Amino acid sequence: MKKGGTTVFYVSVAILLLLVIVGIAIPDLLEQATANIQGFISSAFGWYYLILVTLIVIVCLYLLISPVGKIKLGKQEEEPEFTRPTWLAMLFSAGMGIGLVFWGTAEPISHFIVSSPTEEAGTAQGIRDAMRYTFFHWGIHAWAIYGIVALVLGYFTFRHDEKGLISATLKPLIGTKAVEGVTGKVIDIFAVLATVIGIATTLGFGAIQINGGLAFLFGIPTDIIVQFIIIAGVTVLFLLSAWSGLSKGIKILSNVNMGLAGLLFLLMFIFGPTVFILNLFTDTLGQYLQNLPAMSFRIAPLNEVRRAWIEGWTIFYWAWWIAWAPFVGIFIARVSRGRSIREFVFGVLLIPSIISFLWFSTFGGSAIMLEYNGIAQISSFATEESLFAVFANYPLGFFASIVAIILVGTFFITSADSGTYVLGMMTTNGSHHPKNGVKMTWGILLSAISLVLLYTGGLQALQNTMIAAALPFSVIMAMMTISFIKAIHKESNELGIGKIKRTRG
């Protein structure tokens, strides 16, 4: 590693090792500290998150229709490395994966019966509100956060031959000297820390859900010991995958993920309330599009109950996506080389959003119908068990549950595998081929931090720490967006893109 990469690597590792040590030695203190930070950020910076993320959506949608959309993430004559189906599978597996399986039934049923975003719990209107806000949390806002980071990185790295580092994208804004000096190293360290916490949070969700499935099906206890065994076993698998390299391990696993997810989706769609699912998807899509501006800025300053709900759900999600953005952004940029900005924005924002909407309509809709018709109380089950409780009420439920557990495991491997590659790249001066030793170090650290967060407070500790890690990177992300707009405006002027050609009459 070059000196810059060495500094970022060792400082980041030292900070994260300290987090692990504190979590093991004084877990109560870590849990309390992260809870206090989370509470302060959610209440004091909720408005900031809502405005920032909505502005990012507007920038992405502008790029979709702007003449600059013809510019490629690479040299203009370059062709994409991966086929379109494989590309979509890879970005989807890295971007949502475990989250979709974990929250597929849990979030809609929670919004419907446990804690409604509009205080209409348990009613027909409550169903509409539950699905509308689920779409909101997993739709274009989430993918715009990923997309803008990936777009900026891909543009500077592949078109202007910059290093594959977050700091390198800020040259038009803060200058080369600052980027290559201490400021650049600090920016990259913040990006690494946010990435590690974001990935570790998701791995924690995965371990909890695998444990939940095993508990529901076989009565295995839900505790840290079982979760330790699950994480240890999956760690070995994803380290083997990471050792094999990006084009082999992640490509194969991404396609396996999509196959298993497709099978699970079809089982639920066919055996579930099919017509209701289609009607719910159609109606909610319309509600989502109609209410998108209002939901984007909703902070409820005069209603404490609704404000608490927004902080616990919307702000949590925006922070989660931001914390994941450096990881997913670098990975998506890496696999999107050669695609135009317009194709990139369309593929990253719209296609995964529609897939997510279909997923939640199918799994969330099936769960809601069971609860609404009094067939089963899905809301009475733990978050990690709700999916399996839904399967138990439909044909082939046990088979579907086994597929779901395997799917979470493969998503776990894919996310961690991609994460070790991205972290290796971020801490070796932007190298696209980080050494296996570096990737192994990050793989072990990811698993260790995930376990520490589960040990110190389970699901809530994961959420608290992730929100705290996201705030500094959100500022960096805003700077990246401004830097990109400045650079793309300059290039479009140089190329004459968007200018009206005058002809003699």
Q: What is the pLDDT of residues 29-69, one digit of tens each?
A: 878 888 888 888 888 899 999 999 999 999 999 999 999 99
Buried b (16+ CB within 10 A) or exposed e, 407-431: bbbbbbbbbbbbbbbbbbbbbbbbb
Q: What is the pLDDT of residues 104-113, one digit of tens each?
A: 999 999 999 9
Is 497 within the bounds of a domain?
no
Considering only CA atoms, which of 485, 70, 123, 82 is closest in space to residue 250? 82
Instruction: Decide if pLDDT at 321 tops 50.
Output: yes
The number of angstroms, rounded, from the C-alpha of 295 to the middle of its chain's C-alpha atoms is 20
Residue pair 473/325 in contact (Cβ under 8 Å)? The answer is yes
Domain that holds residue 19: 3-492
For residues 349 and 147, give the distance between their C-alpha atoms in angstroms, rounded to a whole number.
7
Instruction: Decide if pLDDT at 255 tops 80.
Output: no
Is 504 within the bounds of a domain?
no
Is 254 within the bounds of a domain?
yes
For residues 413 and 212, give the distance between their C-alpha atoms in angstroms, rounded to a whole number.
18
Say which amino acid occupies 421. Answer: Y
In this prediction, residue 272 has a pLDDT band, given cuts at 50, 70 and 90, of very high
Q: What does pTM read for this prediction?
A: 0.90
The number of domains in the chain is 1
Is 503 within the bounds of a domain?
no
Say which amino acid occupies 253. Answer: L
Residue pair 477/149 in contact (Cβ under 8 Å)? The answer is yes
Res 215: pLDDT: 93
Spell out the long-range contacts of 221-225 with Cβ–Cβ below 8 A and sequence spacing 24 or more: 222/382, 222/384, 224/451, 224/454, 224/455
- What is the domain-level CATH number for residue 111? 1.20.1740
Say which amino acid occupies 145. Answer: I
Say which amino acid occupies 409. Answer: G
Instruction: Decide if pLDDT at 174 tops 60.
Output: yes
Is 498 within the bounds of a domain?
no
Is 500 within the bounds of a domain?
no
Is 501 within the bounds of a domain?
no
Is 160 within the bounds of a domain?
yes
Residues 6+ apart with CB under 8 A from 99: 138, 202, 205
